[in-house]
Amino acid sequence: MFFLLQNGYRVIAHDRRGFGRSSQPSGGYDYDTFADDLAQLVEALDLHEATFVGHSMGGGEVARYVAHHGQGRVAKVAFVSSVTPLLLKTETNPTGAPKELFDTFRAAVRANRPRWNLDVTMPYYSFNRPGAHVSEGLRESYWRQGQATGFLAAYHALGAFSETDFGDDLKKITVPALVVHGSDDQIVPLEISAKLTAGFVPHAKLIIYEGGSHELLHVDKDRLNADLLAFLRS
């Protein structure tokens, strides 16, 4: 955000319900509601010709927003390490991850959320790879943000981002799209996400960061900043 601001762009980040400084309601932790929340913000700020950038589960938010609220205010979209189109293994999505995997995540959140938020940083940043430079600062920052998230949001988000099918949403995107993903994404594997997402979106450009982790925003921020800036200027 700071980099793009320095290059002359207005940059806005919202806190999804239950996350960050947003309120922590008892319900609404699903993508229809997330998209409606985003639409209220976009309309309140009266945004036009905006580029929507979604990281991880935020990619699904961008896709569902376009599907439900159209592209009238959208100039471009970008998906970074996005959970789209569908992570869960089903009869029609045989390459997805089994539900049992996400059940273990939910169990870990229930059992010891502070431990979960710390442990997940290792695969999240690919700090568990041989020769990786582990940043304890990034791990602590992730932990802080994770602990600030409401428990309901942390728990139900696991089902929302893994079980929601965004295939039909992606097909409705006709504006220019950028899809960026790391080849070593251990949270959202490349083969079941970005490669398929780029195929669903008619005008998508796929960029793969060789050896890149799920958290490209920090570990590969200089390259990602340059790619986003080039996309905005194109």
Global pTM reads: 0.96
pLDDT tens string for the chain (234 positions)?
999 999 999 999 999 999 999 999 999 999 999 999 999 999 999 999 999 999 999 999 999 999 999 999 999 999 999 999 999 999 999 999 999 999 999 999 999 999 999 999 999 999 999 999 999 999 999 999 999 999 999 999 999 999 999 999 999 999 999 999 999 999 999 999 999 999 999 989 999 999 999 999 999 999 999 999 999 999
Looking at the domain 2-233, which fold is it?
A: Rossmann fold (3.40.50)
pLDDT at 168: 97
How many Cβ atoms from other residues are within 10 Å of residue 184's Cβ?
16
Across 28-99, the runs of DSSP E, i.e. the strands, are: 50-55, 74-80
Active site residues: 56, 185, 214
Q: Which residues, in sequence order, are bridge partners of residue 76?
A: 51
What's the token pair of residue 179? 């899809």
Residue-range domain boundaries for the chain: 2-233
Long-range pairs of 225-234 with CB within 8 A, sequence gap ≥ 24: 225/3, 225/4, 227/178, 227/180, 228/4, 228/53, 228/78, 228/178, 229/3, 229/4, 229/7, 231/51, 231/76, 231/78, 231/176, 231/178, 231/205, 232/4, 232/9, 232/51, 232/76, 234/176
The letter for the amino acid at 8 is G
Q: Which amino acid is at 40?
A: Q
Instruction: Identify whether the C-beta of residue 50 lies closer than 8 Å to the C-beta of residue 41.
Output: no
